[in-house]
Amino acid sequence: MKMIIKILYDNIARKNFISGWGFSCLIETKEDKILFDTGWNGNILLHNMKIAEVKPEKIDKIFISHSHWDHIGGINYLLEYGQNPEVYMPGSVSENLKNEIKRDANIIEITDSMEISENIWTTGELGEDIKEQSMVILADKGNIVITGCAHPGLETIIQKSRELGDIHTVIGGFHDSDVDILNDISQVIPCHCTEKLDEIRQKMPDSFENCEVGYILKIKN
């Protein structure tokens, strides 16, 4: 089975796409279309989805890494399409936000690691001050980890993710994490809020790839 990851929202964008502060990507499988985070600006998200030929009404599931606005700002724009998707979000998210989303979607509150679709897992809530979940996709060459902002720290996320197997790729926002944990990762794609971008590029020239709206990663598993 093949999967595709499409970057739909990021600080950098390819031609015809629009950049913005925040992050979102689509994970497309044979069974599901899962949107990981929704960026900050819903209009930008919808524009980029249109250019990427992603129909918002076809989104089956929405995966929210954490409740900062640059990751959830576009969700109400998607919910207006009335498809009642499943929304997987950390259980620690405020009750007010949960109640707003419950009007138009089914919420699955996440605390522990669990499978949310075939070969796609959440790490469960990680961290202390800012709780966040990451996604782990099981694949033949090694698993793919997707992070929102990595507030719990890359070391914590990767350690938890390795419970599901070896890791081939890490993609997403890394914030100010210690990046040395990425030394043995074959493919590193830092996005959005990554503060040590130049350090990653210098230390890991063979594994580093640029993240930008319009980037597509194909996975075989």
Q: Hey, what domains does the chain have and what are their CATH numbers?
A: 2-220 (3.60.15.10)
Of residues 61, 10, 38, the one with CA closest to residue 174 = 10
pTM beyond cutoff 0.95 = yes
- In whole angstroms, give the CA distance from residue 139 to residue 80: 33
Planar angle of CA 200, 201, 204, nearest 5 degrees: 70
End-to-end CA distance of the chain, in Å?
5
* pLDDT, tens digit (0-9, with 9 covering 90-100), for 164-221: 999 999 999 999 999 999 999 999 999 999 999 999 999 999 999 999 999 999 987 6
* pLDDT, tens digit (0-9, with 9 covering 90-100), for 115-169: 999 999 999 999 998 999 999 999 999 999 999 999 999 999 999 999 999 999 9
